[in-house]
Structure 1
Amino acid sequence: MGSDRRSLVVLASRVRYEEKRIMAALERRGAGYEYVDPRTLFTRAGVTRPGPELVLNREVGHFRALYAADALEAAGATVVNSAAATRVSGDKWHTSTALLERGIPTPTTALAMTSEAALDALEEIGYPAVIKPLVGSWGRLVTRVTGREMAVAVLEHIEALPSPQSHVIYVQELVRKADRDLRVLVVGGKALGATYRHGNEWRTNVARGAVSKPCPLHPRHTRLAVAAAAAVGADIAGVDLIEDRDGRLTVLEVNDRVEFRGLQEAHGAAIDVADAVAAHLIAVTAA
């Protein structure tokens, strides 16, 4: 990274739409920064080297993002989002427990150590339900199960996966909802805006073809999203909300290295997510 101490680093192994816009916003605001690919970094335990004062962590891979944040914080940097926030929000079980500890509504969830225990949990929660990997994004390997026979087949597949972490099974009730969910962007404790995400299937991820449309930001959306981001300790977060058929809102997920292209394009010039992120980073640097 060089021997000079930069005030701000943007950390990312892939420079996508979001990273390009954030770096452009920093440049417009006259904020000096350095782009660093985390794949070039190494840290010796117990050895402090000159490094950045502030790091925006945009690494796409959860474990690389987590350990990079840990190492950079150990070297004295402030990381946004912090390693603690990445650890919680990057793991669905940790997110669920953090939300419940703050009294924030979230779907009924269980964690099982074996397939047999998962089947018992599913019977208690009730079908249809959802089986999810603890770590993952874009709706990958998230499976809706409608009954025991289907659940057994899915769990047999999970047992064959090579990672021991995959064998710890996260199950959740399937909230009866409309054909959409909500994504609220939170930066620095403030809700910037929201979108409805409509899809042709039950998973409404933009990465799976869902379409984002502007959603009026109601105070109840704001309160819930800001509280959820605070529960996981995230300065910058995309909070996914589900509204059931009776209008009740629950928090489904909190995304710490959030992709915001769908929301940005839905709102156009009315909201500038990247500029809000840049302003927040500048404020943290100045604090």
Structure 2
Amino acid sequence: MTLPFMIGVLGSPVSWYMRDLVRAAGETSGVQIIPLAFDRLQAASLERSSVSSALAMESHEPSKPTESMPLDALDAVLVRTMPLGSLEQVIFRMNALHVAEQLGVPILNGPRCLEICIDKWLTIQRARHVGLLTPKTICCQGREEAIEAWHQLGEDCVVKPIFGGEGRGIVRVTDYDMAWRVFSTLSQIQAVMYVQEFLPNEGYDLRLLVLDDELFCVRRHGNGNWRANVSQGGEAKRFEPTFEQAEIAYRAARAVGGWMVGVDLIETLDGRTMLIEVNAVPGWRATGAAVEQDIAMRLIQKLRDR
């Protein structure tokens, strides 16, 4: 009897992506999706090192023991999201993934890729290091330094959470009073201030979803909102990338060590193509609908091919 190809998914068991992966696996012979709980990871250094996780459920019952799944019993592990936790918990979870990877568990994307892409500043530095164009960006930790950065970058800047996604918490700052209020607030909560020049554009950005050696590309229109994220009301439409845009996407994926990443680009009014961000846990629902492709199915097929 042939054993199923088992894919562990670290993420929410009730999410749209889990349902989509389970649906695609059900339509693929010999594939099984195993939902895993990120906050139930544990590692052991005994006679033999190991990393395991409890199976994810809709809710955990402390009085009821949960089955543990060794990660090295799986054919692949997909990382989709990490729940909130203390600094200790987050560091341990990432280190557990590093250990699992060292033990030969195929983790996609790998922990180093996750660490790079979670940090927008580090992502920009990796992109610049390989020669990709990125917006002028200043990272600092104090109000006065941030206001000086705002002046230096043309007094029209985008302030983003250094950790975050889907366009949440992003503010465009265009006058001094707003700058003082925004940077004072961020300073009070001891946030790192990620200050980036605003790039005039035609009101859309580009999402190039890299899946191994394939590209799925959409143009995201903001419909009046300068943020074009679909989660913020943007609309995704299929487009064919230029050779330059495709090359940027693949180079960005290599720069962060990603196998499946979302590369966000902006075409500026002066004709430049700038890399904005690289997402190591990209969604595919809007992209798949726009390009009329079953991306969950392609994802599973490519995992098996590996």
TM-score by length of 2: 0.82
CA distance in 2, matches of 1:222, 1:237: 13
Q: Percent identical across equivalent pairs?
A: 28
What letter corresponds to residue 97 of structure 2 in structure 1?
L
Higher strand residue share:
2
**1:116-127 equivalence runs, <5 A:** 116-127=144-155
1:170 aligns with 2:169: no
Partner SS state of residue 155, structure 2: coil
**Structure 2 unaligned regions, length at least 5:** 51-69
Task: Quote the residue 2:60 is aligned against.
Answer: none
Higher mean displacement: 70-79 or 202-211? 70-79
Q: Which has the larger radius of gyration?
A: 2
> Displacement of 1:35 after TM fit?
2.1
Task: Quote the residue 2:27 is aligned against.
Answer: 28
**1:107-256 equivalence runs, <5 A:** 107-161=135-189, 164=190, 166=191, 168-256=192-280
Q: Aligned residue pairs: how many?
A: 275
Partner SS state of residue 34, structure 2: strand
Cα 1:34/1:102, change in 2 over 3 Å: same
Cα 1:84/1:40, change in 2 over 3 Å: closer
> Displacement of 1:33 after TM fit?
2.8
Are 1:105 and 1:249, in contact at CA under 8 Å, matched by a contact in 2? yes
> Displacement of 1:86 after TM fit?
0.5
CA distance in 2, matches of 1:95, 1:121: 19
Give deviations 1:2-39, integer Å, cap 9, x for gaps: xx997421221254333322332233332433422324
Higher mean displacement: 98-107 or 209-218? 209-218
What letter corresponds to residue 115 of structure 2 in structure 1?
R
> Displacement of 1:262 after TM fit?
1.3
TM-score by length of 1: 0.87
**Structure 1 unaligned regions, length at least 5:** none
CA distance in 2, matches of 1:43, 1:21: 27
> Displacement of 1:185 after TM fit?
0.8
Give deviations 1:212-262, integer Å, cap 9, x for gaps: 111123222211111111111110011111011133211111111111111
Higher relative contact order (CA 8 A, sep 6+): 1
Cα 1:55/1:62, change in 2 over 3 Å: farther
Superposed CA RMSD in Å reads 2.4
CA distance in 1, matches of 2:135, 2:289: 29
CA distance in 2, matches of 1:67, 1:59: 15
What letter corresponds to residue 263 of structure 2 in structure 1?
V
Are 1:69 and 1:82, in contact at CA under 8 Å, matched by a contact in 2? no
Higher helix residue share:
1
CA distance in 2, matches of 1:155, 1:35: 43
CA distance in 1, matches of 2:152, 2:244: 30
